[in-house]
Amino acid sequence: MSERTLQERAETVVMRAALRLPERVQRVLGGPAKMVDGQTLAPETQLILRLMDLGGPAAETVPVPKGRRIIAHQCRMSGGEVPIGSVRDLDAGGVPARLYSPQGAGAEAAALLVFFHGGGFMYGDLDSHDASCRALSQRAGVRVLAVDYRLAPEHPFPAAYDDALTAYRWVVGHTAELGADPARLAVGGDSAGGNLAAGVALVAALEGLPLAFQMLVYPATDNQRATRSAELFGTGFFLSTAFMDLATDSYLPDASQRLDPRASPAYAEIPDGLAPAYVATAGFDPLRDEGEAYARRLAEAGVPVDLRRFSDQIHSFFNVVGVGRRSPAAVAEIADRLRVALAP
C-alpha cells in the first residue's frame, strides 16, 4: 500500500471520528464560533475546515490534474457508504453517464433526475458525486442519471454546456429504456452543475421538451461575481476567490464569453413554461447571493420558485452525506423536496 493511500485512510478515519463527536466537543476543537452576516457556522463544518487547514494544499493551488485527485479524495472522505438498489453505467448520446435506481424500484416508470456534478467545470466526475447521487436517489425514491460532461481546461466553454444538453435530449428520447416517466423528469446539480441544470431547463422550455422540475444547489449563475457574499466568504470557507478565478479562466478563457447566457444564466431571457425551481444556497458561500438573485429573477418572471438558504453551511455541503449530522440533514431535506416535486 502506497504512503499516499495510507495518509488518505488516516485522514478519513480522523475526519469521520471527529464528526461523530458531540457538537459541544466539536465547538471546542474547531475554535470560537464563526459568526458572519448574522449567521453562525455549524460546529461540525468549522471543525472540517480546521482539519482541512492541517492537511495538504488546496486544489486550486496545484496543477489541475493534482487538484482533481485532491477533490476526489475529499469527496471520498465525506461521502461514506450509501446503500442503493442498483447502479449501472451507460452512454447518453455519446456522453458517459451513470443510472441510480433506489431500493424497491420496480419495472414501472419512475421519476428521473438528470444530475450534473459541481467542481468549477474543471474537477469532478461520476465518482466524486457518487455518494450524493445515491443519497438523493434512495431518499427521494427517484432514479438519478448522473452525467459525466467534459472538463476544462482541456475542453473549455461551451463543451460542458453542449454535453449537458446532449445528455438531456437523449434522456427525453430514451425514457422507456431508463424506466422513466416522461411527465416526471427533472434536472439538477450543484455549483457548476447547477449552472448547467439551469441552462438545460431554459432550453427545455424554449424547445418544448418535457421537464417538470429544476433542482439548483448553490448554482453558479453570474460570472461577474459582484456580490456581498463573494466579498465576505472568498477566503476561509472552502470555496475561495482563487478557486473561482481559476475555474473561470479554465472554462471561459475568452473573457468576452463570460456573460453569455449559456455561461451566466443570470443574463438569459426567461421563457414561458420554464419548469418550477428549487434553489438551495449556503450561508457561508461566495455563490450565495448570485444563486438567490437568480431565484428572485425567476420568481419575478412568474416561475414557481422555492428558495432555501442553509445558513450554517458552506459551499460543497452537498457532498457531505456520509459524515456528521447537519450537512447530511440538509441533503436529506433537498431530497425530500425533490420527492414531493416529482410525486405522481
The set of catalytic residues is: 191, 285, 315
Asked if residues 84 and 102 have their Cβ atoms less than 8 Å apart, the reply is yes
Q: Which amino acid is at 321?
A: V
Nearest to 136 by CA among 205, 64, 84, 69: 84
Report phi then psi at 269, rounded to 5: -70, 140
Asked if residues 148 and 72 have their Cβ atoms less than 8 Å apart, the reply is no
User: Can you name the residues that pair with 115 across neighbouring β-strands?
Assistant: 146, 188
Q: Which three cell numbers stand for residue 69?
A: 485527485
| Maximum alpha-carbon separation in the chain | 57
The CA–CA distances, whole Å, from 153 to 27, 121, 158, 228 equal: 39, 8, 11, 28
Q: Which amino acid is at 97?
A: A
Give the angle 82-83-89 at the CA atoms, nearest 5°.
90
